[in-house]
Amino acid sequence: MRIAVGSDHRGVSMRSKVVGLLNRLDHEVIDLGTNAEESVDYPDIAAEVAGRVSRGEVDRGILICGTGLGMSIAANKFPGVRAAPCHDYITAEMSRRHNNLNVLCLSGDILGERLVDRLVEIWLNTEFEGGRHERRVEKITALEKSDGSCPTTT
């Protein structure tokens, strides 16, 4: 798979481990930094990764910040991007089976390396179930065109 990876300053160390894992698993990695030592704004990195996913330039994205929260909020602004923080085996698996998550967000502050390795592997190897979940994901995509009104009541 072609996978774009990015982190802010709080995820630099975890990102290098994730990049190493992806390389060992023979994925094509596009590492988008940060490589700066100073603090950076996570939306800037999220935009680099989520933009590539949104434009179809990569298959998936992985974003790491202190909590994984800011990265997911920013990444979800991009059309076709489904990003969420995953922090245990169940969220990693279900994010694929039910939500077809295409941007995995991780916490550099909270998670340990062995857990992250396993989360990434589960997330890469679990297929989207489709079926009724396809309909629900399509409804999420339709919300990208929302003008703020609720589509089920208009």
> Does residue 133 carry a catalytic annotation?
no
The answer to whether residue 86 is catalytic is no
48 binds ligand RB5 (CB under 6 A): no
Q: What CA–CA distance (Å, rounded) separates 108 from 91?
A: 17
Strand partners, 83: 103
Scanning residues 78 to 97, which ones bind ligand RB5 (CB under 6 A)? none
By CB under 6 A, tell whether 8 contacts ligand RB5: yes
Contacts with ligand RB5: how many residues (CB under 6 A)? 8
Per CB under 6 A, 69 contacts ligand RB5: yes
33 contacts ligand RB5 (rule: CB under 6 A): no
Q: How many whole angstroms separate alpha carbon 44 and alpha carbon 147? A: 25
Q: Which of 4, 70, 95, 96 binds ligand RB5 (CB under 6 A)?
A: 70
Element containing residue 63 per DSSP (H, E): strand 60-65
Only one of the segments 61-69, 78-86, 123-131, 146-154 lies at the binding site for ligand RB5 (rule: CB under 6 A); that segment is 61-69
What is the spatial distance between Cα 26 and Cα 1, in angstroms, rounded to a whole number? Answer: 8
Shortest distance (Å) from residue 128 CB to ligand RB5: 26
Q: How far is CA 92 from CA 37, 44, 146, in A?
A: 30, 24, 28
Structure tokens at 118: 């396993």
Q: Is 42 in the site for ligand RB5 (CB under 6 A)?
A: yes
For residues 28 and 63, give the distance between their C-alpha atoms in angstroms, rounded to a whole number. 16
Site residues (vs ligand RB5, CB under 6 A): 8, 10, 42, 65-67, 69-70
